[in-house]
Amino acid sequence: MANFMTLHKQQGGQALRDLLAKPLGNALTVLALAFSLALPATLFMLAKNVVAVTEEWQVPNQLTVYVNQGASDAVAETLYDELSQWQEIGGTEFISPEQGLTQLRQIQGFDEAISLLDDNPLPAVIVVTPANDDAASATALAAKLRAESTVEEVRLDSDWLQRLSAIESLVLTLTVVFSGLMLMAVFLIIGNTLRLQVLNQKAEIQVLKLVGATDSYIQRPYLYTGVWLGLAGAIVAWIVTLINGLLLDTAVAKLATLYSSGFRLSGLRIDEGLILLMITGLIGLLAARLAAGKHLREIEPV
């Protein structure tokens, strides 16, 4: 067992030294692998943040009830008291026309426009939170509220959440599709690199077979080469993804400020980076095994 581990250590180390002995050609291969991996890694990072945004904003469905424009404050407050007693409603919030106008003034750019108005055009508003969070109950409650004579309009605030959920689904689908394509590209790059390496070392392989070396013994250094190439590409891809995250975080911060949010882009965590390393190392191993193994079986000693 000790001799077996020593042999693996020697062959793994020799494979790494052989890669470092040809820095230019292998560096180009590593960069090709890295940029192939950086795309799915960046898409995963974006998808993770989109999911975080949707989870943060997945509040219970809210309905905005607009009272008739001509209704008095007493009528609006009476409606508010009635709605508070409904079993389908979990919570209510009353916003008077004066409160609504004050909130509108706080929005940048509206203060000057509001100052030109002679009267307050805003109606009284009641924000209703359904007792049940499912969309069917919220839709049924909205229809019941519209039947009230003092209600002008009812808006279901979950519509934008449905759009956000559709965007999330699209981003996740793109991430899966592009990840599959790029991982296949990594597999092909490593496999083709090792195929050429086996063909270039055909004479050496024939000599090794003449002296009795088995296919598994000859193949093992190529397996380690595939793993080393995969790990090197994953490390560079991790660095590229971190740089992409820093660049995108600036744009995300500006966008979040416009929505009065403190959201910041979350980059790849250490455990996610380690998963990237393991997946790429495994792909390198499989690609080396298939490519090198096939050609090694075809090479026979002269």
**What is the rounded CA–CA span in Å between residue 120 and residue 70?**
12
pLDDT the model gives residue 120: 66
pLDDT in tens, 180-230: 999 999 999 998 988 888 888 888 888 887 887 777 788 888 889 999 999
pLDDT the model gives residue 260: 64
**What is the rounded CA–CA span in Å between residue 72 and residue 81?**
14
pLDDT the model gives residue 158: 62
Show the CA angle centred on residue 108, arms to residues 104 and 114, nearest 5°. Answer: 45
Taken in order 90, 145, 154, 124, the sign of the CA dihedral is: negative
User: Which residue ranges of the chain lie beneath pLDDT 70?
Assistant: 1-2, 4, 55-61, 104-121, 133-135, 157-161, 259-261, 302
288 within 8 A of 191, measured Cβ to Cβ: yes
95 within 8 A of 127, measured Cβ to Cβ: yes
pLDDT the model gives residue 281: 92
62 within 8 A of 128, measured Cβ to Cβ: yes
- In this structure, what are the phi and psi dihedrals at residue 71, rounded to the nearest 5 degrees? -75, 145
CA distance to 99, 138, 141, 212, per residue, from 64 (Å): 15, 11, 11, 82
pLDDT in tens, 22-60: 888 889 999 999 999 999 999 998 888 888 777 666 555
